Structure 1
Amino acid sequence: MSTLRMTFVVALSTLLSNVAWAANPLNFGSDILTADPSGHVWQDGRMYLYTSHDENCQLDFWMKDWHVFSSDDLINWVDHGAVLSVDQLSWADNYAWAPDAGYKNGKYYFVFPAGTGHKDRANPEKSTKWMGIGIAESDSPTGPFVDVIGAPLWREPYANDPSLFIDDDGQAYLYFHGKGFDYYVIKMADDMRSTEGDFIKMDMGGYEPKMEGPWVFKRNDIYYFTMPENNRELAYYTAPSPLGPWQYQGVFMESEHDSNNHHSIVQFKDDWILFYHRWLETPDANCDARKRQRHSAAEYIYFNDDGTIKKVNRTEHGVGQNLTKKISN
């Protein structure tokens, strides 16, 4: 082996030995099952991850509370516990599904779906299930959050999977998945305790596939509307404003096990991070079975010069120290 090659091998080995990686799925220090991770970086520079909580052996996504975790390196996470439970709601008792969060007016806002009733999958006409979107407040990013209005933001249409985007001018927009009501958005009032005006049907450029939880963010003056297209693969649109008109750009992460996905995209320090959940075979002592369950995960996400998103593949190591940048530097 040449001296140059030997030097390169030694240097690479040293580099790899000093690179720390996160587990993928993310390691929260326990066997808690989480999904629908919503990532946010607040004033202290830490990453905060708001998630739904799958219970062992839960019946048909009957979920009861939401959790928050934080980290300053995406590797070591602090579990801050449950920030809100359906037991604290007067208008819902189930379906603590995908949440989101925002910061405005010196307060932290937690926007969440919850509901009542039962979904009869065998006889849909007998279903009594209803879901709405609530908003809670706290002086801390880790809660506890309080449902100060004691009601959903609206009762019709049936809605879940909220995404709260606050633009540079302070205007907050609420996107969601609605029953027969997808690709709508509504403005939040300045006090963040009610909506303002009517629902706005967005121009999606003529392409409106079946979708679930949207996530909207802004990068370099481009607005991104991202979603699980057909409730499976992650796809996106771009626009010059948070209301569109939107131009479809395609899929950036394929589906896994033909199962649903739910995600968020957020900048952390010099990197952009994609949080999502995976369905992985998981030992379940309570159920005495081994089945696929949801686990929060993360990947780096990269952009082309024109702002389009590069394809993202699932990895076993996920995120941590960015090895690509380490080598290039």
Structure 2
Amino acid sequence: MMNKLTSLIASAVMAGAVTGCAQHSAEGQNAPGNPLDFGGNLRTADPSAHVWNDGKIYVYTSHDEECQEDFWMKDWYAFSSTDLKNWETHGPLLSVDDLTWADNYAWAPDAAYKNGKYYLVFPAGTGHKDRVNPENSTKWMGIGIAESDSPTGPFKDMIGAPLWRTPYANDPSMFIDDDGQAYLYTHAKDHDYHVIKMADDMRSTEGDLTKMDMGGYEPKMEGPWVFKRGDWYYYTMPENNRVLTYYMSKSPMGPWEYKGEIMGQEHNSNNHHSIVEYKGQWFLFYHRWLDIDSACGRQRHVAAEYLYFNDDGTIQPVDRTEKGVSDFADR
């Protein structure tokens, strides 16, 4: 009797363990479409999406190393697709080992195409951030720019230096207007909501960082992304580093009018995004903090959703979905 009871208990425990494993596996897979399946075990974040003349969509990302210390990151990747379901991996495109002026903090990149060249604009830095005693911090970050004849690199740091050293800056967003003028927006110490023009050769800046008129509303932010649709320019950002919000203007330098939320926060974690049109459809790329086969808890993973506009040009709010854009090729 005791042996039979013991056997039944053991069977129940084993069944519960199997059920628990199955649930964990299902949660780990998370979705048929989100996060995007870039293959392998790469942890990616800060997606910068672009469409080049070869008809593919490219997503440039930062690369989170497993259980990395305080966002100590070393290289950048890109992924290309024609259906947003099957992705080809390219990279690393560039590493901090290739730089003479930085050795860490390979954070959120952007990319651009001009003068027959592809450009990777990226933040990198040196030092250490002391979160307990901030006065002891030595961390510094600047914006670099690298060139290539191919959208997938290899990219080379042609100037061997950041575009500027002061102010401390990261999270670059490069926007090239219809007339070919390139504008660089960043998150910078005491210089948020600023813009600077790039020289025509894309290897230096012109003039100074210019403070834009944001209509009187300037919350804490990071990771700006600027794009144009029709006659409207859009300045989008993670407000308070969490909630994606946006402004609209008739000029890439403002004045800007605040319009509100695109996507709410999740897990009280940061977000970083980009918005692009591909084959007549607009998309929002962003990252999520998910526990997928990780020994370190939630890690960042790139996801995507469809994006829609109202008749007046304003953006419709976007919800996170499991399906994502997995059915795009079937539309």
Using structure 1 for the length normalisation, give the TM-score.
Answer: 0.90
Q: Which residue of 2 aligns with 1:317?
A: 323
Output one character per residue of 1:65-105: Cα deviation in whole Å (capped at 9) or x when no partner: 00011000000000012100000000000000000000000
SS in 2 for 1:291: coil
1:81 to 91, 94, 99: 91
**Whole-angstrom CA distance in 1 between matches of 2:275 and 2:239:** 16
2:210 to 200, 224, 227: 200
- Is 2:56 the partner of 1:50? no
Structure-to-structure mapping, 1:143-292, within 5 angstroms: 143-284=153-294, 289-292=295-298
**Whole-angstrom CA distance in 2 between matches of 1:81 and 1:322:** 25
Count of residue pairs brought into register by the alignment = 301
Query: In 1, are the aligned partners of 2:84 and 2:328 still within 8 Å (CA)?
Result: no
Q: Which residue of 2 aligns with 1:294?
A: 300
Q: CA shift at 1:320, angstroms?
A: 3.1
Letter in 1 for 2:259: Q
Query: In 2, are the aligned partners of 1:94 and 1:116 still within 8 Å (CA)?
Result: yes
**Whole-angstrom CA distance in 1 between matches of 2:73 and 2:155:** 18
Query: In 1, are the aligned partners of 2:83 and 2:328 still within 8 Å (CA)?
Result: no
Q: CA shift at 1:168, angstroms?
A: 0.2
**Whole-angstrom CA distance in 2 between matches of 1:102 and 1:94:** 23
**Whole-angstrom CA distance in 2 between matches of 1:84 and 1:167:** 26
Q: Which residue of 1 aligns with 2:110?
A: 100
Structure-to-structure mapping, 1:111-126, within 5 angstroms: 111-126=121-136
Q: CA shift at 1:321, angstroms?
A: 3.0
Letter in 2 for 1:256: E
| Counterparts in 2 of 1:269 and 1:22: CA distance versus 1, 3 Å | farther
1:305 to 296, 311, 318: 311
Q: CA shift at 1:116, angstroms?
A: 0.1
SS in 2 for 1:180: coil
Output one character per residue of 1:266-311: Cα deviation in whole Å (capped at 9) or x when no partner: 0010100100000011222xxxx35000000000000000000001
**Whole-angstrom CA distance in 2 between matches of 1:22 and 1:99:** 27
Q: Could you list the runs of 4 or more consecutive aligned residues of structure 1 that deviate by over 6 angstroms after TM superposition?
A: none
Query: In 1, are the aligned partners of 2:186 and 2:224 still within 8 Å (CA)?
Result: yes
Unaligned segments of structure 2, at least 5 residues = 1-30
SS in 2 for 1:87: helix
Q: Which residue of 1 aligns with 2:148?
A: 138
Q: CA shift at 1:181, angstroms?
A: 1.0
Structure-to-structure mapping, 1:32-71, within 5 angstroms: 32-71=42-81
**Whole-angstrom CA distance in 1 between matches of 2:296 and 2:117:** 42
**Whole-angstrom CA distance in 2 between matches of 1:155 and 1:54:** 25
Query: In 2, are the aligned partners of 1:112 and 1:161 still within 8 Å (CA)?
Result: yes
**Whole-angstrom CA distance in 2 between matches of 1:73 and 1:52:** 22
**Whole-angstrom CA distance in 1 between matches of 2:32 and 2:166:** 41
Alignment RMSD? 1.2
Select the structure of larger CA radius of gyration. 2
**Whole-angstrom CA distance in 2 between matches of 1:247 and 1:70:** 34
**Whole-angstrom CA distance in 1 between matches of 2:75 and 2:165:** 21
**Whole-angstrom CA distance in 1 between matches of 2:226 and 2:269:** 22
2:34 to 24, 39, 46: 24
Query: In 2, are the aligned partners of 1:22 and 1:319 still within 8 Å (CA)?
Result: no
**Whole-angstrom CA distance in 1 between matches of 2:238 and 2:309:** 19
SS in 2 for 1:283: coil
Query: In 2, are the aligned partners of 1:22 and 1:74 still within 8 Å (CA)?
Result: no
Unaligned segments of structure 1, at least 5 residues = 1-20
Q: Percent identity?
A: 74
**Whole-angstrom CA distance in 2 between matches of 1:283 and 1:96:** 23
Query: In 2, are the aligned partners of 1:22 and 1:75 still within 8 Å (CA)?
Result: no
SS in 2 for 1:260: coil
**Whole-angstrom CA distance in 2 between matches of 1:138 and 1:283:** 35
Letter in 2 for 1:116: T
